[in-house]
Protein backbone atom coordinates (compact mmCIF):
# COMPACT_ATOMS: atom_id res chain seq x y z
CA UNK A 1 0.00 0.00 0.00
CA UNK A 2 1.36 3.40 -1.00
CA UNK A 3 1.09 6.49 1.18
CA UNK A 4 -0.12 9.75 -0.24
CA UNK A 5 2.15 12.80 -0.12
CA UNK A 6 -0.08 14.32 2.57
CA UNK A 7 0.20 11.19 4.72
CA UNK A 8 3.98 11.12 4.29
CA UNK A 9 4.30 14.77 5.37
CA UNK A 10 2.09 14.08 8.39
CA UNK A 11 4.27 11.11 9.37
CA UNK A 12 7.46 13.19 9.01
CA UNK A 13 6.03 16.00 11.16
CA UNK A 14 4.96 13.49 13.82
CA UNK A 15 8.42 11.89 13.77
CA UNK A 16 10.23 15.19 14.29
CA UNK A 17 7.79 16.20 17.01
CA UNK A 18 8.48 12.97 18.90
CA UNK A 19 12.26 13.37 18.49
CA UNK A 20 12.09 16.97 19.75
CA UNK A 21 10.00 15.97 22.75
CA UNK A 22 12.46 13.19 23.54
CA UNK A 23 15.48 15.50 23.57
CA UNK A 24 13.68 18.17 25.57
CA UNK A 25 12.70 15.59 28.16
CA UNK A 26 16.29 14.39 28.29
CA UNK A 27 17.62 17.90 28.80
CA UNK A 28 15.20 18.64 31.61
CA UNK A 29 15.50 15.26 33.30
CA UNK A 30 18.77 16.16 35.01
CA UNK A 31 17.50 19.47 36.35
CA UNK A 32 16.06 19.86 39.82
CA UNK A 33 14.96 23.30 40.90
CA UNK A 34 14.85 24.21 44.60
CA UNK A 35 11.32 23.97 45.97
CA UNK A 36 9.59 26.18 48.49
CA UNK A 37 8.64 24.03 51.51
CA UNK A 38 5.07 23.91 52.77
CA UNK A 39 6.34 24.57 56.30
CA UNK A 40 9.61 25.71 57.95
CA UNK A 41 12.14 23.11 59.05
CA UNK A 42 12.33 24.19 62.72
CA UNK A 43 10.16 25.62 65.48
CA UNK A 44 10.03 29.41 65.95
CA UNK A 45 11.61 31.21 68.87
CA UNK A 46 9.38 31.81 71.88
CA UNK A 47 7.02 34.69 71.19
CA UNK A 48 7.57 34.46 67.41
CA UNK A 49 5.56 32.89 64.60
CA UNK A 50 6.44 31.90 61.05
CA UNK A 51 5.20 33.81 58.01
CA UNK A 52 5.98 33.84 54.29
CA UNK A 53 8.02 36.84 53.17
CA UNK A 54 7.96 37.62 49.47
CA UNK A 55 9.17 40.52 47.37
CA UNK A 56 11.45 41.63 44.55
CA UNK A 57 11.83 38.10 43.18
CA UNK A 58 12.64 36.45 46.52
CA UNK A 59 10.54 34.21 48.77
CA UNK A 60 11.29 32.54 52.11
CA UNK A 61 9.91 31.62 55.52
CA UNK A 62 10.75 34.06 58.35
CA UNK A 63 9.78 34.58 61.97
CA UNK A 64 8.11 37.64 63.42
CA UNK A 65 6.63 38.98 66.61
CA UNK A 66 4.74 42.19 67.33
CA UNK A 67 7.64 44.46 66.32
CA UNK A 68 10.49 42.44 64.78
CA UNK A 69 10.08 40.97 61.31
CA UNK A 70 11.81 40.63 57.94
CA UNK A 71 11.27 42.56 54.72
CA UNK A 72 12.68 42.59 51.18
CA UNK A 73 13.57 46.04 49.89
CA UNK A 74 13.69 47.37 46.33
CA UNK A 75 17.43 46.78 46.16
CA UNK A 76 17.06 43.01 46.40
CA UNK A 77 18.09 42.93 50.06
CA UNK A 78 16.25 40.97 52.74
CA UNK A 79 16.75 42.05 56.31
CA UNK A 80 15.42 42.32 59.83
CA UNK A 81 13.58 45.45 60.94
CA UNK A 82 12.25 46.59 64.30
CA UNK A 83 9.07 48.64 64.09
CA UNK A 84 10.04 50.36 67.34
CA UNK A 85 12.83 52.07 65.40
CA UNK A 86 12.91 53.70 61.98
CA UNK A 87 13.07 51.11 59.21
CA UNK A 88 16.27 52.64 57.78
CA UNK A 89 18.04 52.69 61.15
CA UNK A 90 17.05 49.18 62.23
CA UNK A 91 17.48 47.34 58.91
CA UNK A 92 19.94 44.45 59.30
CA UNK A 93 20.70 42.89 55.93
CA UNK A 94 20.73 39.08 55.94
CA UNK A 95 20.33 38.30 52.23
CA UNK A 96 21.11 40.06 48.97
CA UNK A 97 20.53 39.10 45.34
CA UNK A 98 23.31 39.92 42.86
CA UNK A 99 23.10 39.78 39.06
CA UNK A 100 25.36 37.11 37.58
CA UNK A 101 25.07 37.32 33.78
CA UNK A 102 28.05 35.01 33.21
CA UNK A 103 26.56 32.33 35.53
CA UNK A 104 30.06 31.98 37.03
CA UNK A 105 30.40 32.71 40.75
CA UNK A 106 34.02 33.85 40.32
CA UNK A 107 32.81 36.80 38.24
CA UNK A 108 31.01 38.18 41.30
CA UNK A 109 34.32 38.98 43.01
CA UNK A 110 35.07 42.24 41.09
CA UNK A 111 31.65 43.57 42.11
CA UNK A 112 32.18 42.69 45.77
CA UNK A 113 35.56 44.42 45.71
CA UNK A 114 33.74 47.69 45.04
CA UNK A 115 32.01 47.43 48.43
CA UNK A 116 32.95 49.98 51.11
CA UNK A 117 35.50 48.57 53.51
CA UNK A 118 37.12 46.14 51.09
CA UNK A 119 40.84 45.93 51.76
CA UNK A 120 42.61 45.91 48.40
CA UNK A 121 45.67 44.32 50.00
CA UNK A 122 43.87 41.03 50.67
CA UNK A 123 43.09 38.17 48.29
CA UNK A 124 39.88 36.15 48.42
CA UNK A 125 38.44 33.22 46.49
CA UNK A 126 35.21 31.22 46.33
CA UNK A 127 35.06 27.59 47.46
CA UNK A 128 32.07 25.33 46.81
CA UNK A 129 30.51 23.54 49.77
CA UNK A 130 27.59 21.14 50.16
CA UNK A 131 24.28 23.00 49.97
CA UNK A 132 22.09 20.17 51.19
CA UNK A 133 19.39 21.29 48.74
CA UNK A 134 18.47 20.03 45.30
CA UNK A 135 19.17 22.46 42.50
CA UNK A 136 21.38 24.71 44.63
CA UNK A 137 25.12 25.37 44.45
CA UNK A 138 26.60 26.94 47.57
CA UNK A 139 29.91 28.76 47.92
CA UNK A 140 31.83 30.42 50.73
CA UNK A 141 34.13 33.38 50.15
CA UNK A 142 37.36 33.04 52.07
CA UNK A 143 40.82 34.53 52.27
CA UNK A 144 43.41 32.93 50.03
CA UNK A 145 47.19 32.80 49.79
CA UNK A 146 49.18 34.87 52.31
CA UNK A 147 45.95 36.55 53.47
CA UNK A 148 44.64 33.18 54.69
CA UNK A 149 47.84 32.52 56.61
CA UNK A 150 47.62 35.92 58.32
CA UNK A 151 43.98 35.28 59.22
CA UNK A 152 44.84 32.01 60.96
CA UNK A 153 47.46 33.72 63.11
CA UNK A 154 45.29 36.75 63.95
CA UNK A 155 42.19 34.68 64.73
CA UNK A 156 44.14 32.78 67.36
CA UNK A 157 44.61 36.06 69.23
CA UNK A 158 41.13 37.58 68.83
CA UNK A 159 37.84 36.77 67.07
CA UNK A 160 37.46 37.98 63.49
CA UNK A 161 33.71 37.92 62.70
CA UNK A 162 34.05 38.39 58.94
CA UNK A 163 36.56 38.70 56.12
CA UNK A 164 36.66 39.84 52.50
CA UNK A 165 34.93 43.16 53.11
CA UNK A 166 32.19 41.59 55.22
CA UNK A 167 31.20 39.05 52.56
CA UNK A 168 33.57 36.30 53.63
CA UNK A 169 33.58 33.79 56.46
CA UNK A 170 35.32 34.51 59.76
CA UNK A 171 35.41 32.54 62.97
CA UNK A 172 31.86 33.39 64.05
CA UNK A 173 28.60 32.87 62.22
CA UNK A 174 28.29 31.79 58.60
CA UNK A 175 28.20 33.61 55.26
CA UNK A 176 27.75 32.01 51.88
CA UNK A 177 26.48 32.54 48.34
CA UNK A 178 23.98 30.40 46.44
CA UNK A 179 23.25 29.90 42.76
CA UNK A 180 19.88 28.30 42.05
CA UNK A 181 19.52 26.12 38.99
CA UNK A 182 16.19 27.82 38.28
CA UNK A 183 17.94 31.23 38.06
CA UNK A 184 21.61 30.66 37.16
CA UNK A 185 22.05 34.33 36.28
CA UNK A 186 21.65 35.38 39.93
CA UNK A 187 23.64 34.83 43.12
CA UNK A 188 22.19 35.11 46.63
CA UNK A 189 24.30 36.19 49.59
CA UNK A 190 23.12 34.72 52.91
CA UNK A 191 24.37 35.66 56.37
CA UNK A 192 23.66 33.48 59.41
CA UNK A 193 24.78 34.31 62.93
CA UNK A 194 26.02 31.95 65.58
CA UNK A 195 22.42 31.07 66.48
CA UNK A 196 19.61 29.86 64.23
CA UNK A 197 18.47 32.83 62.11
CA UNK A 198 15.00 34.37 62.07
CA UNK A 199 14.58 33.01 58.55
CA UNK A 200 14.58 29.45 57.25
CA UNK A 201 17.70 29.34 55.09
CA UNK A 202 16.50 26.12 53.43
CA UNK A 203 13.34 27.79 52.14
CA UNK A 204 14.89 30.57 50.02
CA UNK A 205 13.70 30.50 46.41
CA UNK A 206 13.81 32.96 43.53
CA UNK A 207 11.00 33.91 41.18
CA UNK A 208 10.81 35.93 37.97
Average per-residue pLDDT for the chain: 85
Which of 5-19, 106-120, 180-194 shows the lowest mean pLDDT across its residues? 5-19
pLDDT at 201 over 70: yes
Residue pair 79/94 in contact (Cβ under 8 Å)? The answer is yes
User: Could you report the per-residue pLDDT of 152-184, keeping only the tens digit for each?
Assistant: 788 888 888 889 999 999 877 899 999 999 999
Which of 3-17, 90-104, 141-155 shows the lowest mean pLDDT across its residues? 3-17
Q: What Cα–Cα distance (Å) separates residue 78 from each residue in 36, 102, 150?
A: 17, 24, 32
Confidence at residue 88, expressed as pLDDT on a 0 to 100 scale: 67
Query: Would you place residue 23 in the very low, low, confident or very high pLDDT band (cuts 50, 70, 90)?
Result: very low
Query: Would you place residue 12 in the very low, low, confident or very high pLDDT band (cuts 50, 70, 90)?
Result: very low
Confidence at residue 9, expressed as pLDDT on a 0 to 100 scale: 46
User: Could you report the per-residue pLDDT of 83-138, keeping only the tens digit for each?
Assistant: 988 766 789 999 999 999 999 999 999 999 999 989 999 999 999 999 999 999 99
Amino acid sequence: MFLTQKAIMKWIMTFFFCISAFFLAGCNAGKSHPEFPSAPFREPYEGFRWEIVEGNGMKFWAQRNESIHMVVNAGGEAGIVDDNCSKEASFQMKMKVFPLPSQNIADLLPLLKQSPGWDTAITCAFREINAGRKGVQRYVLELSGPSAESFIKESEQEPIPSTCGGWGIGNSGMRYFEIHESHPDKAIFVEIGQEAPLFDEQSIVLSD
